[in-house]
Every structure is written in structure tokens, then in C-alpha cells.
């Protein structure tokens, strides 16, 4: 029996079998592998670094480590974008100083600590 098509009609496209995901509009998501014991130990060790910072600066670094955008961070902490960025750089510099076994200078400007921290990297 013939199909209900006009005479002379043909289709050059190959037959395509649709999967369930095609029909419902979903794509499979790749999952990251679970961390091993060594990676968990390293992550726990890095969390201790946040104790070297003021609680507000530690919170800022934690939010950025979790890839929180700057705008919600600024709203949460009540600071400007420039201040948030400066304090984030300062927090990273403090961690770099401490990991290199150096003590922070007591009365140095934040910019000095950041500049010197970049030298240690």
C-alpha cells in the first residue's frame, strides 16, 4: 500500500530514530568523579587557611571559591565592587604570605601586602 503523498514526492533525508531525551528535551549531564581520600585531606587543609583572615574577608574568599558572582557578594557584605575585589586580593595575599612562612607586617598598607604577595607567587 502506498503512503498518502502526492505523486512525485520524495524525501532525501535519512530516517532518524528519536531517543527519549530528544523527545523530552533533556540532555545527559556529565558528573564529576568523586574526590579521593587525598583530595579530601587537601581540601580540609585549605579550609584551615581561612582562619588566618578576618571573618568578613574569609567569607568573601569562600564565596568567590564557590564561584558566587561579585554582585551578590557585594549585596551580602554591603561593600562596593572595588572594595570587594581589593579585599579579595588582600585575603589571597595574606594566605600567600603565611604559606611562605612570613609574618604580615603590622603597619603596612593593604596595597603593600598585595604587591609583596605577588612576588612570592
Please report, for residues 3, 16, 108, the alpha-carbon distance to residue 13 in angstroms, rounded to integers and kept in the order given. Answer: 17, 9, 72
The pLDDT of residue 119 is 67
pLDDT tens, the chain, 121 aa long:
556 767 777 777 788 787 777 777 777 678 889 999 999 999 999 999 999 999 999 999 999 999 999 999 999 999 999 999 999 999 998 898 888 888 777 776 777 677 766 666 6
Burial degree of 114 (CB within 10 A; 0-12, 13-18, 19+):
middle
- Which residues, in sequence order, are CB contacts of 105 under 8 Å at separation 6+? 112, 113
Amino acid at each position: 500500500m502506498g503512503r498518502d503523498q502526492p505523486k512525485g514526492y520524495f524525501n532525501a533525508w535519512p530516517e532518524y530514530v528519536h531517543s527519549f531525551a530528544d523527545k523530552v528535551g533533556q540532555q545527559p549531564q556529565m558528573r564529576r568523579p568523586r574526590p579521593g581520600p587525598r583530595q579530601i585531606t587537601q581540601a580540609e587543609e585549605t579550609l584551615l587557611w581561612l582562619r588566618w583572615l578576618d571573618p568578613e574577608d574569609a567569607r568573601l574568599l569562600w564565596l568567590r571559591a564557590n564561584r558566587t558572582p561579585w554582585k551578590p557578594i557585594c549585596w551580602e557584605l554591603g561593600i562596593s565592587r572595588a572594595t570587594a575585589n581589593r579585599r579579595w586580593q588582600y585575603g589571597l595575599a595574606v594566605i600567600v604570605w603565611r604559606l611562605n612562612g612570613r609574618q604580615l607586617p603590622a603597619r603596612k598598607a593593604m596595597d603593600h601586602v598585595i604587591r609583596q604577595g605577588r612576588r612570592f607567587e
